Structure 1
């Protein structure tokens, strides 16, 4: 569908309705996935990474495939790499919603540390592939092929990690991820439902997020173009936030029902799946490896996401319950560094307009 041929008012209406559907679906998704985690014993962090992260990334599949198929490799790459930093920023927003305690201070299991570290390594690998200039092998990029193998390996490494006693607590602090009574509000409703029912409901919500999320991204991009913002960094940021609504709604819902590890796993998982989608973009793009079309702008975008992930990993290691403006110091640092990253990207965008979109 050529959304740029619609009037701005029609696109605005579709955008608003899609945003409402995505928000409502994402809010229910956290509860359903939490129930599945509780009944299967998979673990909150990995379930958040696999299910929440995977489902909230579904709209990106349609968006990236469409952009690549039509020959717009920069849009596909910027969409994926630009969202890495925005997704981490969403954790700071969730931290502010939580209030009271710093988000990273109430996560007592090391699974999120593993996921964050894996995400940093993958973003570093993306930067290396961009700077080394990806080469084609059998119709796809060698670099993107290596990246999807690394993503699958990361999922395998994360699976079952929460059930292995790799770390032992030496203090009496409660593990708020699974303390009885801490998340009863989120468990009572879902644990009474059969696992099959929860899986069906999760699938239905996933379909809603896929369809409405795709409309959200497409109309958002059309509106950015129609208002004259599409060619600027401002347009990329606005559309990036619009397409991050599934993640925002799901992690805020997870935080509200005290599924903190699931919220963090959602974001780390989303970034992992987005990196894997580079391979899908390669398959759809007719002009060679998509990362071969990327440059300094995209490399810095990946590094910004890596740095912000590192800030949260440090927060998870420190677990300091110190807040300012209703959020932890790590969340505040994330916001400051994100703004600084935007300044750097703006300078790069002005020097090489074609590289930034």
Structure 2
């Protein structure tokens, strides 16, 4: 029955994810907000809700802060390796040549936020962290930087798409803005319910398999809670909404680091990072390196493909992902 529940979640997320990207693209087209902004805010916030709910339940009911932090940072790494999949599926032209350079702004803020988290993980391990009541000082810093990032991306995108609605033809003439919004909300609700249910099904599978809790939190739970990002992003690419696809990934990573601050608020025994393993810093710095590789790819726009599959930037992304996975698995075995 656990495997049946798992399959139901995957099917629900797959179906609703396609609808979510379609109506998100319709809203972007009709409002002129731009694919990057829609991807960073709307899709990223919805597809990252499973991480939010899993994190809160991990630090409260389950009393497992390592699962909360591992899920967030593991999801950041997995989101970036999805770029490799997108590059492979983009057959007409390399992905890095199709995506707008406005994503570099969101990626840069992602490096800052993930770096802030990794830096404070190491400080906490040395007993040098500063706390405010039961909160780490890094939590309000993360939230403030997240707000600055969202405002900056919005202002940048607004300048680029000023007059977009009047200048471009309506790509969805048979669909009103109100209908698109209603259907977007309905699809988001399905993704939310299935995405919230999916991590708990995965935990049941982990118990039956006898897997280590930390390994499950960092890799397996992170994978299943990132399924909405993967399905929605691939669906957006197939619809031709490349900027929405890339924006969803970078936006989800921004939102994920913000989740760490929320988890810290709900973790009452003390600062969250004081109660977790420093091994999570491996995922944090892997995500930083992978984001840097993606930025170089978006700036350099390489057209060469390795054996006509993916570009060299994607090769580096996948290599870092494999190294990160091996390091975490080795730690688990130890």
TM-score normalised by the chain length of structure 2: 0.91
CA 243–42 in structure 1, closer or farther in 2 if over 3 Å, else same: same
Which of 4, 18, 26 is the equivalent residue of 1:13?
A: 4
1:286 corresponds to 2:268: yes
Q: Which runs of 5+ in 1 are unaligned?
A: 1-9, 167-178, 352-357
State how far apart, in whole Å, the 2-side matches of 1:253 and 1:34 are: 11
- Higher mean C-alpha displacement, 325-334 vs 313-322: 325-334
Counterpart position of 2:114: 123
Question: Equivalent residues in 2 for 1:209-224 (5 A)?
Answer: 209-224=191-206
**Count of matched residue positions in the alignment of Structure 1 and Structure 2:** 323
Give the secondary structure class of the aligned counterpart of 2:286: helix
CA deviation profile, 1:9-36 (whole Å, cap 9, x unmatched): x221111101100111111111111111
Counterpart position of 2:56: 65
Give the secondary structure class of the aligned counterpart of 1:164: helix
Contact 1:101–1:327 (CA under 8 A) maintained in structure 2: no
Counterpart position of 2:288: 306
CA deviation profile, 1:97-140 (whole Å, cap 9, x unmatched): 22232211112x32101111110111111111111224331432
Q: CA deviation at 1:80?
A: 0.4
State how far apart, in whole Å, the 2-side matches of 1:195 and 1:100 are: 31
TM-score normalised by the chain length of structure 1: 0.85
CA RMSD of aligned residues (A): 2.1
Give the secondary structure class of the aligned counterpart of 2:270: coil
Counterpart position of 1:22: 13
State how far apart, in whole Å, the 2-side matches of 1:63 and 1:301 are: 18
Contact 1:42–1:160 (CA under 8 A) maintained in structure 2: no
State how far apart, in whole Å, the 2-side matches of 1:104 and 1:337 are: 18
Contact 2:195–2:225 (CA under 8 A) maintained in structure 1: yes
Counterpart position of 2:89: 97
Counterpart position of 1:40: 31
CA deviation profile, 1:331-355 (whole Å, cap 9, x unmatched): 121111111122233344445xxxx
Question: Equivalent residues in 2 for 1:32-181 (5 A)?
Answer: 32-70=23-61, 71-107=63-99, 109-133=100-124, 134-164=129-159
Give the secondary structure class of the aligned counterpart of 2:279: helix
CA 135–13 in structure 1, closer or farther in 2 if over 3 Å, else same: farther
